[in-house]
Structure 1
Amino acid sequence: MALLRCRGLRKEFAGQVVLDRLDLTVDEHRVVALIGASGSGKSTLLRCVNLLEEVDDGTIELDGEDISDPRVDADRVRRRIGMVFQAYNLFPHLSVLDNITLAPRRVHRRARAEAEAQARDLLDRVGLGAKAHAFPDGLSGGQQQRVAIVRALANSPRLMLLDEVTSALDPELVGEVLTMIRDLKADGMTMVLATHEMGFAREVADEVCFLDAGRVVESGPPEQVLGEPTQARTRQFLRRIIEAGRL
């Protein structure tokens, strides 16, 4: 069953078309990886799904509801979507525990004890239970990104959007975050992730979508798109990735 449907999405910035009649369907409990060169529309697509950008045309449906309708309460929709960015965006003046429980307490009106119990459980699951009272500047980049993912999970989202979550990390720290995403997949979390980690996309994604100039040029199982692409533009992109030693 489709959890997310994007139909004919169009988005322009200062006259430049960033999304060009883009279509995307994500079934529940599936992982879709968005690949493509910088500027292909991956991040803009995720921001539109999370209603951080308003589409110029087309529709976005979440659980059958047209969330791109301007009359929709964006804050209500975002309670069902978790988004994690390249930058960790943790509040530096708050502890790890307070960063994670802020939205559940303020937005979802959960009691502090309930929110903190859930946060501690999530931190334990990702090996950060001992860091509950630490502050962000006392954590490594990989630890901060894992906390950012836990913060998104604390709202019990229907859909997770991950925007190049390993791009700001040192290579040694990338594995920490990728392991966590593998665990989320095993738990059945529905995810759309933009990534430059081709090997990871091959391993974790159920479907890979290659974006170019704001369109989905090719999509399918990882072994097909990354191993035997049918479109010339996909082959050209992957050839450059291979030459750079990233596949």
Structure 2
Amino acid sequence: MTPVLDVRGLVKRYGDATVLDHVDLTVGEHQVVTVIGSSGSGKSTLLRCVDLLEEIDDGQVLLDGVDISDPRADAAAAQRRMAIVFQAFNLFPHMTALQNVALAPRVVHGLPAAEADERARELLDRVGLADRADAHPDRLSGGQQQRVAIARALAVRPRLLLLDEITSALDPELVGEVLSIVRGLAADGVTILMATHEMGFARQVSDRVCFLDGGRVLESGPPDQVLGDPVQERTRQFLSRVIAAGRL
């Protein structure tokens, strides 16, 4: 079966620095694949390359078997089939939660306003914010803002959902409420590629974990193997520091 996402030999450079060095990665239908690694290992850059927010220097990014990284491909059409949630919430401050969620379906996908609003209300309910639909971002907590951002991403019915360290900007007590939403999405079969520092969470929800180090995938496999009995010494060193920091 053709994977939803197939990354082949992906190379990304900034000047003389190689940030991603021939990365191979696949995400199958209804799978959750998690990328872990130290800060600066290339996790966020990988997600941005997949979403075509960064030009790649070599390799391919295939979405449902189609090379969307080909310069001749319709990048905008490919991006409409994906959605990314960043560390920062990136909500429009002058819009309510409802307006933020309904915007892309209405403006980008041409959904009638009433239908876009209805879907936005359903999604806000799904992330536990039905009663905050008319609140502006400055009236929401960080965790609530990130849940609105997730609802906004889901509003376009993405083929692939990309989550880039979505809890890293949150206070510790707010992390759980966001992770519970992602846990529910995974249970519902949403296809997800995510980068995270939350190893315990990655172990719970992932079908596969990839350890990225120095721009290369050093180890990839089931979460119990990669996080519980890693093969590579570098992976063991990384996880020992994670354990010391209390994230495993």
Q: Shorter-normalised TM-score: what interval? A: over 0.9
| 1:32-43 aligned within 5 A | 32-43=33-44
1:142 maps to 2:143: yes
> In 1, distance between residues paired with 2:54 and 2:113?
32
Q: What residue identity is the alignment partner of 2:243?
A: I
> In 1, distance between residues paired with 2:119 and 2:169?
28
1:172 maps to 2:156: no
CA offset digits 1:212-236 (Å, max 9, x no partner): 0111100111100000000111111
SS of residue in 2 equivalent to 1:28: coil
- 4+ runs deviating over 3 angstroms: none
| 1:208-227 aligned within 5 A | 208-227=209-228
> In 2, distance between residues paired with 1:33 and 1:106?
31
SS of residue in 2 equivalent to 1:68: coil
> In 2, distance between residues paired with 1:113 and 1:193?
32
> In 2, distance between residues paired with 1:227 and 1:103?
40
Q: Which residue of 2 aligns with 1:6?
A: 7
Q: What residue identity is the alignment partner of 1:59?
A: Q
SS of residue in 1 equivalent to 2:167: coil
> In 2, distance between residues paired with 1:199 and 1:141?
21
Sequence identity, in percent? 68
> In 1, distance between residues paired with 2:242 and 2:186?
25
Question: For this pair of structures, how many residues does the alignment match?
Answer: 247
> In 1, distance between residues paired with 2:108 and 2:73?
17
Deviation at 1:244, TM superposition (A): 2.0
SS of residue in 1 equivalent to 2:4: strand
Deviation at 1:84, TM superposition (A): 0.1
Q: What residue identity is the alignment partner of 1:29?
A: H
Deviation at 1:136, TM superposition (A): 0.4
> In 2, distance between residues paired with 1:32 and 1:125?
22
Q: Which residue of 2 aligns with 1:20?
A: 21
1:194 maps to 2:174: no
CA offset digits 1:53-108 (Å, max 9, x no partner): 01000000001110000122221111110100000000001111111111111111
| 1:53-64 aligned within 5 A | 53-64=54-65
SS of residue in 2 equivalent to 1:38: coil
| 1:18-167 aligned within 5 A | 18-167=19-168
Q: Which residue of 2 aligns with 1:236?
A: 237
Q: What residue identity is the alignment partner of 2:33?
A: V
Q: What residue identity is the alignment partner of 1:166?
A: T
With the length of structure 1 as denominator, give the TM-score of the two structures: 0.99
Deviation at 1:132, TM superposition (A): 0.9
> In 2, distance between residues paired with 1:85 and 1:196?
14
> In 1, distance between residues paired with 2:179 and 2:246?
19
SS of residue in 2 equivalent to 1:8: strand
SS of residue in 2 equivalent to 1:61: strand
In structure 1, stretches of 5+ residues that fail to align are none
Task: Give the root-mean-square deviation of aligned CA atoms.
Answer: 0.7
Q: What residue identity is the alignment partner of 2:140?
A: L
> In 1, distance between residues paired with 2:185 and 2:194?
12
SS of residue in 2 equivalent to 1:226: helix
Deviation at 1:6, TM superposition (A): 0.5
1:182 maps to 2:183: yes
> In 2, distance between residues paired with 1:96 and 1:75?
25
